[in-house]
Amino acid sequence: MVSIIAFVRQYRIKKKEHLNQLETVDILHKKELLKTQTEIQKETMQHIGREIHDNVGQKLTLSSLYLQQLVYEKKVPDANTTINNINDIINESLNDLRHLSKSLTDDTITNYTLSELIKNECKKIQELKTYDIAFENKSKHHINSYQTKSIVFRVVQEFIQNSIKHAQCKKINIDMFTSETEIQMRLKDDGKGFDTESTNFKGIGLNNMKKRIGILKGSFNLESNKNGTTLTLKIPV
């Protein structure tokens, strides 16, 4: 009888260890998959950016030069105004393409710390002079992982956009603390809030945010009421 009990106990221990191993393998697989997807996405964006700059941009520039030449040579004097308008549109398109190309090909996430990325994002919002956004950084350690920085930064961007578009907030506060082992972050707005039980998370990107943090094996806690919404993140590093 004692042998049977010991055998059952040992079996349960081994089964639990096996399940833990499977869970660990699954988490590692998801992390590796996300890392690969991130790298592919980055390379794809850089390729698109180069194509925009080198191909589309050059063609628009050439078109603009042809139009300017027509005006200069006065070959179509009655159409000068129309040509000038077309040329203005092309030049505006070129500026838009340059900005898009730069945003796709730069290494912002690689070259900046997580706190610098969030600070710059807050600065952009603050310049609109419509929202009061404050970022307090109490970090003691820099996060070097591109994957971690990318995911956390995108989640912060998503929260800010949701607060502005859906919560109709006026104020957003972001607090961050990083150590050698963990990132702690608290994001809060003063918007109208929502029912976390009935809201369609997919519709406003919250479900995607939660999944991303889950890949990093972090905790995602969202609270919302009529006085605002608070998102608390804890992510091991």
Q: If you search the block for the tokens 């027509």, which residue do you land on?
A: 70
Confidence band for 110, pLDDT divided at 50, 70 and 90: confident
Query: Rounded distance, CA 166 to CA 193, Å?
Result: 9
Look at residue 101 in the predicted model and tell me its pLDDT: 64
Confidence band for 174, pLDDT divided at 50, 70 and 90: very high
Judged against a pLDDT cut of 60, whether residue 129 lies above it is answered with yes
Query: Rounded distance, CA 37 to CA 154, Å?
Result: 15
Which H, E and C letters describe the chain, residue by residue? CHHHHHHHHHHHHHHHHHHHHHHHHHHHHHHHHHHHHHHHHHHHHHHHHHHHHHHHHHHHHHHHHHHHHHHHHCCCHHHHHHHHHHHHHHHHHHHHHHHHHHHHHCCHHHHCCHHHHHHHHHHHHHCCCCCEEEEEECCCCCCCCHHHHHHHHHHHHHHHHHHHHCCCCCEEEEEEEECCCEEEEEEEECCCCCCCCCCCHHHHCHHHHHHHHHHCCCEEEEEEECCEEEEEEEEEC
Look at residue 82 in the predicted model and tell me its pLDDT: 67
Query: Rounded distance, CA 220 to CA 205, Å?
Result: 14
Confidence band for 195, pLDDT divided at 50, 70 and 90: confident
Judged against a pLDDT cut of 90, whether residue 96 lies above it is answered with no
Assigned CATH for 112-236? 3.30.565.10
Look at residue 154 in the predicted model and tell me its pLDDT: 86
Higher-confidence residue of 166 and 156: namely 156
The mean per-residue pLDDT over the stretch 217-222 comes to 93
The mean per-residue pLDDT over the stretch 129-143 comes to 90
The mean per-residue pLDDT over the stretch 66-92 comes to 69
Confidence band for 78, pLDDT divided at 50, 70 and 90: low
Q: Which one, of 169, 160, 158, lies nearest residue 201 by Cα?
A: 158
Judged against a pLDDT cut of 60, whether residue 176 lies above it is answered with yes
Judged against a pLDDT cut of 70, whether residue 235 lies above it is answered with yes
The mean per-residue pLDDT over the stretch 106-123 comes to 86
Judged against a pLDDT cut of 80, whether residue 122 lies above it is answered with yes
Judged against a pLDDT cut of 90, whether residue 55 lies above it is answered with no
Q: Which one, of 122, 128, 129, 191, lies nearest residue 162 by Cα?
A: 191
Q: What percent of the chain has pLDDT over 90?
A: 24
Could you tell me the residue ranges of all domains in the chain? 1-106, 112-236
* 32-52 pLDDT tens trace: 666 666 666 666 666 566 666
Q: Which one, of 193, 202, 199, lies nearest residue 168 by Cα?
A: 193
Average pLDDT, the chain: 79
Judged against a pLDDT cut of 60, whether residue 201 lies above it is answered with no
